[in-house]
């Protein structure tokens, strides 16, 4: 499996992804808002885009569908129930997408950011997770445009946390530096997050760090719900929080703070 991460440089800080089969040079593209950049990269690599996958229905992920289909004749795959036009095949949890002859991607049902959100998992060694706006590097998707925070918590605990720690994480946007600053505001003694912020502060935007799930569990507050220092800092904002709050409560309060941070 060949993976190309495309840094768009647009106002939304989008990442797009091309996933290609090395045997056939057929490729799948994920959420190609900046479709011309995706077409150019595929041409550079000698790949033919045969499929488009949308992780969810927001405009900054589906806006390039029509011109991409017109340019390539690719089939559009999207979540069942999502409000997306021109879909050729609807995807549900457990479905398998085949790219060429050697690449398979398993569909995960990962609602929360929206209620019809999917992620794609390549069960390679190591595995690769293409998670749209569910999981970000050091953060979690917002839930105020058709989502549900408690559902996102369940997705994190039941769908994401059990995946191998070696899984590479490929989100839909680059919010890493802002998310690390928020993580340190919530957990000031998190040395892993502090060290990573120093490492990536001046990184080239078109050569971004790719984290693993194990790394996310060290730096991402939405995986660190039982951290004593995180709970202590959270109680300064929410003084009625119990001494040993439920993880879901911590997740919800963190997301509320991130919405206005």
Residue owning tokens 């946390």: 161
The one catalytic residue among 16, 26, 56, 117: 56
Active site residue 117: no
- Cα gap 238→241, rounded to integer Å: 6
Residue owning tokens 């045969």: 50
Q: For 99-113, how does the pLDDT look when each residue is reduced to its tens digit (9 = 90+)?
A: 999 999 999 999 999
Active site residue 148: no
Q: What is the pLDDT of residue 202?
A: 84
Active site residue 89: no
Confidence class for position 156, pLDDT limits 50, 70, 90:
very high
Q: In whole numbers, what is the pLDDT of the chain averaged over residues?
A: 97
What average pLDDT does range 119-127 have in this prediction? 96
Residue 258 has pLDDT above 90, yes or no: yes
The one catalytic residue among 60, 109, 117, 128: 60
Active site residue 61: yes
* Torsion sign over Cα 56, 33, 50, 99: negative
Q: Which domain holds residue 160?
A: 2-260
Element (H, E) at 106: strand 103-109
Q: What is the pLDDT of residue 203?
A: 83
Q: How many domains does the chain have?
A: 1
The one catalytic residue among 117, 133, 170, 174: 133
Residue 233 is part of a domain; what is its CATH number?
Answer: 3.60.15.10
Residue 173, phi then psi, degrees to nearest 5: -145, 160
Give the count of beta carbons closer than 10 Å to the beta carbon of residue 71: 15
Q: What is the pLDDT of residue 108?
A: 98
Give pTM, 2 decimals.
0.96
Active site residue 173: yes
SS3 state at 122: strand
The one catalytic residue among 26, 61, 117, 128: 61
Active site residue 95: no
Q: What does 59-100 look like in DSSP terms, one character per residue?
A: HHHHTTHHHHHHHH-PEEEEETT---TT-SEEE-TT-EEEET
Active site residue 133: yes
């Amino acid at each position: 499996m060949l993976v190309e991460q495309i840094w768009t440089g647009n106002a939304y800080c989008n990442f797009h992804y091309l996933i290609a089969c090395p045997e056939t040079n057929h490729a799948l593209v994920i959420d190609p808002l900046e479709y011309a950049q995706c077409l150019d990269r595929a041409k550079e690599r000698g790949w033919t885009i045969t499929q488009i996958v949308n992780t969810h229905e927001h405009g900054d992920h589906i806006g390039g569908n029509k011109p991409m289909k017109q340019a390539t004749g690719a089939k559009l795959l999207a979540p069942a129930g999502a409000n997306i036009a021109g879909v050729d095949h609807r995807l549900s949890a457990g479905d398998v997408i085949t790219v060429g002859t050697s690449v398979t991607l398993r569909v995960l049902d990962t609602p929360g950011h929206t209620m019809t959100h999917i992620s794609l998992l390549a069960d390679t060694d190591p595995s690769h997770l293409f998670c749209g706006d569910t999981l970000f590097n050091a953060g979690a998707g917002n839930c105020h445009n058709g989502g549900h925070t408690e559902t996102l918590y369940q997705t994190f605990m039941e769908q994401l946390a059990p995946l191998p720690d070696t899984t590479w994480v490929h989100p839909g946007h680059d919010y890493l530096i802002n998310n690390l600053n928020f993580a340190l505001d919530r957990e000031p003694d998190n040395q892993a997050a502090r060290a990573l912020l120093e490492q990536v502060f001046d990184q080239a935007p078109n050569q971004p760090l790719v984290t693993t799930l194990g790394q996310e569990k060290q730096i991402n507050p939405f995986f660190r719900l039982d951290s004593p220092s995180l709970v202590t800092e959270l109680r300064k904002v929410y003084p009625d929080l119990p001494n040993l709050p439920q993880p879901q409560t911590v997740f919800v309060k963190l997301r509320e703070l991130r919405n206005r941070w």
